[in-house]
């Protein structure tokens, strides 16, 4: 029996194709620019295509790219897990390019490619709108352009950028998300504008990957303490592929310190933990805990049953077989994680349920 | 009105008296697997899985897409492989008609860019072996640059000393974007070895930066 039948998978990754496949979705200027300049190979440094994490061994094809077309994704992910809806979170170099206009052009092309090659081909697919974090204004334009298509249920950027997300510079992006009631998804990954750790460049990919959790903490602290959730009270932020088990200790430290010295940030009206529980959601792969007892304790310490969203992170190598939900989660909580929480987080999903 | 140029405007001749030493020629691999014979199995697997792992923003290309493919003249493309990968074409297109006496290779192949210092050392050694085996031994007018793992001075000195007595190498190459400014003492052992061996240090433009490429941040283009 399939444990996850009917679940809503909040994080799967179709592989974005090389530039030639995106050219039909570009305007004449960019089509000509990419061809005449011979520009290709825009994969993000945060996800080397051959890295073990990038694709589970049994999902990696003998030749070519994993999760490259809708039929493969349907067979290996939606049908295999019994998914009711799956949210496509493509990772693309458009979100890290130094040129904000080139980045915006690639994001637009990827969004239109996703609509044509995935959303139009299976009614279970939903997608995130890729926007260029290099320019909050261009990001807001892309949200305006794609938001009318209700199959796009979220806006997504890499978690580590050029500036901290709570800075006023990013308000056009946050405002556009709130205006359309679209959660802002922060996905593990970096624009590589700064070293991958606050002590400099690590030597190995393993360090980059593990230390992503620091970027999630940094961005949450920035959003909370710059008052983003006061200014945008309906804004929701989804931490995607962030890991989960770091959260309780982070919340404790944030609460303790805020209680001690909160006059420095008088516009922060509520405890950091309250903002987190009300505004922040996390996908459950990876969870990062050793066993059922630890998972149960961590869920209890988080202090909310509404925050976790079911995900497989397909085709990333986080779990074996179909064990996408960690042990230690009660049946009633599992139901919330798989169905109720995603429906509450992504209001557009509900519109399509008869 | 447009003018179609059939070829170089000036006549080139192989009989000029004043001969040329070209100090900046860029060799390239025909394909990534050309380097395999010079790499241990461990590093071949590492590159297949993680790539070079530099400080660059893309997994396998430079930060700033250029305005022409491979930053190269259109006529520099061989029938197969990228510009600079065909020694016969370098000879026929450049060395012979321009009467080049010596040409110094400046490989821009990210040998000294990986953040993994052991990979950096392995790639520098491999590309140094590759330069002499596939380029300078085939065309002795071309001379190699000693690529060194610039993040690790002791390993860089070892590589310099390994190559110093080999006349096929003409200089030591460093990136113009070292992780710290070159005057810092961490680089002095490299300078001492260069002086001891009588080899100049070539600084070539480019390479992924350890920090923003300008003092005010990241240029867009």
Looking at the predicted structure, is the pLDDT value of residue B13 above 70? Answer: no
Looking at the predicted structure, is the pLDDT value of residue B16 above 70? Answer: no
Q: What number is the ipTM of this complex?
A: 0.93
Looking at the predicted structure, is the pLDDT value of residue A115 above 60? Answer: yes
How far is residue B61's CA from residue A238's CA, in Å, rounded to a whole number? 30
Closest CA to A132 of A124, A142, A122, A123: A142
Residue B182 lies in a domain: yes
Closest partner residue to B220 (CB to CB) among A38, A45, A99 is A99
Residues 99-158 of chain A whose Cβ lies under 8 A from any Cβ of chain B: 99-102, 134
Q: How many CB atoms lie within 10 A of CB B182?
A: 17
How far is residue B112's CA from residue B207's CA, in Å, rounded to a whole number? 9
- Per-position b or e across B128-163, b if 16+ CB within 10 A of its CB: bbbbbebbbeeeeebbbbbbbbbbbbebbbebbeeb
Closest CA to B23 of B132, B171, B146: B171
CA distances, A75 to each of A70, B126, B213 (Å)? 9, 42, 45
Residue B3 pLDDT level (bands cut at 50, 70, 90): low
pLDDT digits (tens, 9 = 90+) for B76-125: 999 999 999 999 999 999 999 999 999 999 999 999 999 999 999 999 99
Q: Report pLDDT for A126.
A: 98
How far is residue A51's CA from residue A73's CA, in Å, rounded to a whole number? 19
Which strand (E) or helix (H) includes residue A248? Answer: helix A247-261
| Residue reference for tokens 């458009």 | A94
Residues with Cβ within 8 Å of A264's Cβ and at least 6 positions away in sequence, in order, are none
Residue B81 lies in a domain: yes
> Which residue stretches of chain B are H helix?
41-50, 87-90, 117-130, 153-163, 188-197
Indicate yes or no: CB of A37 within 8 angstroms of CB of B51.
no
Residue B85 lies in a domain: yes
Secondary structure letter of residue B219 according to DSSP: -
Average pLDDT over residues B120-138: 98
Look over chain A and give the mean of its residue pLDDT values, rounded to a whole number.
96
Average pLDDT over residues A215-235: 98
Q: Report pLDDT for B6.
A: 55
| Residues A90 and A100: beta-carbon distance below 8 Å | no
CA distances, B17 to each of B13, B14, B20, B72, B104 (Å)? 10, 9, 10, 29, 20
Percent of chain B, pLDDT > 70? Answer: 93
Peptide bond into A286 cis (omega under 30): yes
Q: Report pLDDT for B217.
A: 95
Looking at the predicted structure, is the pLDDT value of residue A151 above 70? Answer: yes
More reliable by pLDDT, A24 or B6: A24
> Which chain B residue has the Cα nearest residue A98?
B220
Average pLDDT over residues A66-73: 97
Query: In this structure, what are the phi and psi dihedrals at residue A276, rounded to the nearest 5 degrees?
Result: -60, -50
Closest partner residue to A37 (CB to CB) among B48, B58, B67 is B67
How far is residue A102's CA from residue A96's CA, in Å, rounded to a whole number? 10
Indicate yes or no: CB of A201 within 8 angstroms of CB of B115.
yes
Looking at the predicted structure, is the pLDDT value of residue A280 above 70? Answer: yes
Looking at the predicted structure, is the pLDDT value of residue A207 above 60? Answer: yes
Q: What's the CA angle centered on A51, arms A50 and A56, to 5 degrees?
A: 95
Token pair belonging to A5: 């039948």
Do the strands A280-283 and A8-12 form a parallel or antiparallel pair, or are they unpaired?
A: unpaired
Tell whether A37 lies on the interface with B, counting CB pairs under 8 A. yes
- Stated length of chain A: 354
Tell me, what CATH number does B196's domain have? Answer: 3.20.20.140
Average pLDDT over residues B6-17: 57
Residue B4 lies in a domain: no
How far is residue A89's CA from residue A72's CA, in Å, rounded to a whole number? 16
How far is residue A140's CA from residue A161's CA, in Å, rounded to a whole number? 17
Indicate yes or no: CB of A162 within 8 angstroms of CB of B65.
no
Q: Report pLDDT for B208.
A: 86
Which strand (E) or helix (H) includes residue B22? Answer: strand B20-25
Determine which of B28, B42, B49 to mutate to test the interface with A (most A C-beta atoms within 10 Å). Answer: B49
pLDDT digits (tens, 9 = 90+) for A31-44: 999 999 999 999 99
Q: Report pLDDT for A1.
A: 44
Average pLDDT over residues A288-313: 97
Percent of chain B, pLDDT > 90? Answer: 87
pLDDT digits (tens, 9 = 90+) for A241-264: 999 999 999 999 999 999 999 999
Closest CA to A191 of A174, A175, A212: A212
Q: Report pLDDT for B1.
A: 47
**Residue range of the domain that includes B181:** 20-204
Residue A2 pLDDT level (bands cut at 50, 70, 90): low
Looking at the predicted structure, is the pLDDT value of residue B8 above 80? Answer: no
Look at residue B97 and give its three-state secondary structure.
coil
Which strand (E) or helix (H) includes residue A206? Answer: helix A205-210
**In CATH, what number does A8-351 get?**
3.20.20.140
Looking at the predicted structure, is the pLDDT value of residue A330 above 50? Answer: yes
Do the strands B169-175 and B142-147 form a parallel or antiparallel pair, or are they unpaired?
A: parallel
First-to-last CA distance in chain B? 32
How far is residue A155's CA from residue A131's CA, in Å, rounded to a whole number? 7
Residue B18 pLDDT level (bands cut at 50, 70, 90): confident
Q: What's the CA angle centered on A310, arms A309 and A312, to 5 degrees?
A: 135
Residue B14 pLDDT level (bands cut at 50, 70, 90): low
How far is residue A107's CA from residue A136's CA, in Å, rounded to a whole number? 13
Total count of domains within chain B: 1
Q: Report pLDDT for A3.
A: 79
Closest CA to B104 of B15, B201, B18, B182: B201
B25 forms beta bridges with B105
Residue B9 pLDDT level (bands cut at 50, 70, 90): low
Residue B193 lies in a domain: yes
Residue B11 pLDDT level (bands cut at 50, 70, 90): low
């Amino acid at each position: 029996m399939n444990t996850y039948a009917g679940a809503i998978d909040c994080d799967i990754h179709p592989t974005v194709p090389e530039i030639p496949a995106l050219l039909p979705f570009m305007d004449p200027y960019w089509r000509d620019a990419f061809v005449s300049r011979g520009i290709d190979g825009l994969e993000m440094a945060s996800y080397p295509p051959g890295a073990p994490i990038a694709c589970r061994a049994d999902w990696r094809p003998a030749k070519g790219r994993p999760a490259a077309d809708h039929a493969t994704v349907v067979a290996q992910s939606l049908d295999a897990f019994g998914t009711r809806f799956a949210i496509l979170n493509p990772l693309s170099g458009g979100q890290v390019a130094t040129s904000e206009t080139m980045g915006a052009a690639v994001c637009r092309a990827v969004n239109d490619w996703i609509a044509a090659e995935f959303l139009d081909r299976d009614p279970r697919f939903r997608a995130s709108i890729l926007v260029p974090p290099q320019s909050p204004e261009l990001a807001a334009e892309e949200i305006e352009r794609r938001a009318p298509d209700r199959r796009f249920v979220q806006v997504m950027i890499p978690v580590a950028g050029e500036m901290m997300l709570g800075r006023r510079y990013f308000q056009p992006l946050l405002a556009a998300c709130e205006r359309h009631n679209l959660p802002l998804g922060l996905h593990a990954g970096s624009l590589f504008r700064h070293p991958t750790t606050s002590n400099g460049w690590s030597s190995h990919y393993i360090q980059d990957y593990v230390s992503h959790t620091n970027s999630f903490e940094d961005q949450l602290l920035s959003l909370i303490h710059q008052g983003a959730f006061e200014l945008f009270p309906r804004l929701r932020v989804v931490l995607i592929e962030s890991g989960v088990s770091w959260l309780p200790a982070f919340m404790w430290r944030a609460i303790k310190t805020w209680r001690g010295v909160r006059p420095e940030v008088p516009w922060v009206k509520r405890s950091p933990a309250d903002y987190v529980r009300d505004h922040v959601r996390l996908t459950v792969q990876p969870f990062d805990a050793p066993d059922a007892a630890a998972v149960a304790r961590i869920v209890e310490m988080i202090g909310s049953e509404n925050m976790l969203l079911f995900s497989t992170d397909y085709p990333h190598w986080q779990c074996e077989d179909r064990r996408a939900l960690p042990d230690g989660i009660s049946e009633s909580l599992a139901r919330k994680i798989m169905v109720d929480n995603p429906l509450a987080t992504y209001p557009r999903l509900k519109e399509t349920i008869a | 009105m447009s003018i179609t140029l059939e070829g170089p405007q000036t006549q080139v001749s192989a009989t000029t008296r004043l001969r040329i030493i070209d100090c900046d020629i860029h060799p390239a691999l025909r394909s990534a697997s050309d380097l395999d014979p010079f790499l241990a199995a461990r590093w071949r697997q590492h590159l297949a899985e993680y790539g070079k792992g530099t400080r660059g923003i893309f997994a396998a290309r430079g930060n700033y897409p250029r305005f022409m493919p491979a930053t190269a003249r259109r006529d520099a493309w061989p029938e197969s492989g990228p510009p600079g990968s065909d020694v016969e074409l370098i000879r026929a297109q450049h060395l012979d008609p321009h009467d080049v006496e010596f040409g110094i290779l400046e490989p821009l192949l990210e040998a000294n860019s990986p953040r993994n210092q052991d990979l950096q050392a392995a790639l520098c050694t491999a590309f140094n072996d590759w330069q002499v085996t596939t380029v300078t031994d085939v065309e002795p007018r071309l001379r190699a640059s000693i690529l060194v793992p610039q993040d690790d001075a002791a390993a860089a000195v070892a590589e310099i000393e390994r190559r110093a007595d080999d006349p096929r190498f003409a200089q030591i190459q460093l990136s113009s974007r070292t992780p710290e400014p070159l005057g810092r003492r961490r680089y002095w052992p490299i300078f001492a070895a260069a002086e001891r061996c009588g080899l100049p240090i070539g600084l070539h433009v480019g390479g992924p930066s350890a920090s923003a490429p300008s003092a005010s941040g990241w240029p867009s283009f």
